[in-house]
């Protein structure tokens, strides 16, 4: 096996489509190392759960279309009994647009898009979408989750990204480059600048929603307590350009977040700084079946029974986000606990919002 490839799980446990993508990445002459996380599954250019270190090249397709997608979490501590309720859910949905909903009144409260490509249509589209999507959650596997740990403390977790602005940036540069490009080229520099803007937009978007969660609860928000991580990005380091697609940074001592599924909640981690695996960990449980497969194969009644006692959407349209659509979280954690990260806390869901 190529000594540039580092696996956290056996090759036989990786689906064939993801393995084909791994082999394609290994053909890149400027690849220095490729680390595969235990939640790996097929993505676009780089498999989800893949971390690629390139020598002097940046790769828009490896970051993907949801640039800056990530998770933030805060331990609120002990809260009044009965605070998390259907009433809170309704207040949250008034404050935070979910799914395809956008802001009723556009905002200018976001950083100006640098538009390093100088393509006016991209600038106008990104700016317009940013003005109506800042502070919105999106759809698919994005979520807001309230959970409790073994001490009875409340945790709030938000999974979302850069929304349509990030998609527009990812799509534009993926089409323009067709693959990795030299970091010091004009287009490489342009992508890095515009991608970094999307990373900031995604972070600000999550923080805006977290602020709204505290407003809905009517308690003060201390943003210094928030753990935030991006799992779709490229970072320029002194060793090369590090690309994470669906992978969480796990630098030594760094707190991170690994969501499981709607049923099993969220795990808080502390990075162990394992350089062999590019200081990374999984970004979740990882899908074991596509959304279309889940809609056909999974039992709706079983899904509803599993979610009993949790305030959460359980209509047939959410079956693709059920526990059975994802890999077993215990297996995924086993492949990294004590190796890539230490598990330091676990919050079980009591209220979940999905787009």
Q: What is the pLDDT along the chain (355 residues), one digit of tens a residue?
A: 799 999 999 999 999 999 999 999 999 999 999 999 999 999 989 999 999 999 999 999 999 999 999 999 999 999 988 999 999 999 999 999 999 999 999 999 999 999 999 999 999 999 999 999 999 999 989 999 999 999 999 999 999 999 999 999 999 999 999 999 999 999 999 999 999 999 999 999 999 999 999 999 999 999 899 999 999 999 999 999 999 999 999 999 999 999 999 999 999 999 999 999 999 999 999 999 888 999 999 999 999 999 999 999 999 999 999 999 999 999 999 999 999 999 999 999 999 999 8
The strand pair at 143-148 and 154-160 is best described as antiparallel
Determine whether 55 is exposed, middle or buried from the number of CB atoms within 10 Å of its CB (0-12, 13-18, 19+).
middle
In the chain, what are the domains?
5-288+326-354 (3.90.1860.10)
Question: Around 288, how many Cα atoms within 13 Å sit in the side-chain half-sphere?
Answer: 17
Q: Residue 244: what pLDDT?
A: 98
Q: Residue 45: what pLDDT?
A: 93
Q: Which two tokens stand for residue 49?
A: 């759960």
Q: For 199-212, write each residue's pLDDT tens digit.
A: 999 999 999 999 99
Q: Residue 355: what pLDDT?
A: 82
Angle of the 86-95 helix axis to the 186-217 helix axis, nearest 10: 140
Residues near 18 by Cβ (< 8 Å), separated by ≥ 6?
40, 41, 42, 43, 47, 48, 49
Q: Residue 1: what pLDDT?
A: 73
Q: Residue 163: what pLDDT?
A: 98
Side by side, the strands of the sheet bearing 5-7 are: 5-7, 31-41, 48-54, 240-245, 232-237
Q: Residue 252: what pLDDT?
A: 98
Place of tokens 């977290």: 210
Helix-strand-coil split of the chain, %, nearest 5: 35, 25, 40
Q: Residue 140: what pLDDT?
A: 86
């Amino acid at each position: 096996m190529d000594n540039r490839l580092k696996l956290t799980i056996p090759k036989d446990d990786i689906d064939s489509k993801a393995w084909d993508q791994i082999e394609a990445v290994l053909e890149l002459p400027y690849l220095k190392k490729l680390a595969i996380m235990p939640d790996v599954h097929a993505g676009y250019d780089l498999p989800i759960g893949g971390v690629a270190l390139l020598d002097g090249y940046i790769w828009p397709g490896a970051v993907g279309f949801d640039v800056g997608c990530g998770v933030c979490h805060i331990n609120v501590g002990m809260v009044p009994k009965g605070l998390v309720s259907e009433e809170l859910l309704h207040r949250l949905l008034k404050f935070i647009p979910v799914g395809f909903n956008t802001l009723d009144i556009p905002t200018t409260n976001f950083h100006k898009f640098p538009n390093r490509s100088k393509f006016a249509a991209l600038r106008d589209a990104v700016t317009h979408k940013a003005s109506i999507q800042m502070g919105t959650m999106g759809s698919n596997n994005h979520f807001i989750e309230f959970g409790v740990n073994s001490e009875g403390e409340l945790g709030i977790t938000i999974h979302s990204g850069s929304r349509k602005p990030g998609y527009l940036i990812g799509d534009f540069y993926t089409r323009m480059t067709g693959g990795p490009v030299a970091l010091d080229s004009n287009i490489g520099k342009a992508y890095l600048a515009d991608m970094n803007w999307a990373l900031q937009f995604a972070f600000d978007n999550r923080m805006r929603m977290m602020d709204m969660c505290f407003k809905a609860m009517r308690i003060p928000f201390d943003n210094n307590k928030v753990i935030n991580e991006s799992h779709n990005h490229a970072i320029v380091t002194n060793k090369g350009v590090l690309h994470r697609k669906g992978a969480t940074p796990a630098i030594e001592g760094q707190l991170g977040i690994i969501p499981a599924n709607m049923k099993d909640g969220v795990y808080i981690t502390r990075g162990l700084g394992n350089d062999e695996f590019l200081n990374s960990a999984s970004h979740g449980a990882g899908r074991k079946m596509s959304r279309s497969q889940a809609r056909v194969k999974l039992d709706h009644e079983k899904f509803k029974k599993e979610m009993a006692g949790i305030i959460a959407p359980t209509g047939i349209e959410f079956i693709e986000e059920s526990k059975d659509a994802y890999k077993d979280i215990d297996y995924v954690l086993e492949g990294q606990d004590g190796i890539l990260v230490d598990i330091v806390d676990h919050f079980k869901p009591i209220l979940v919002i999905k787009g």
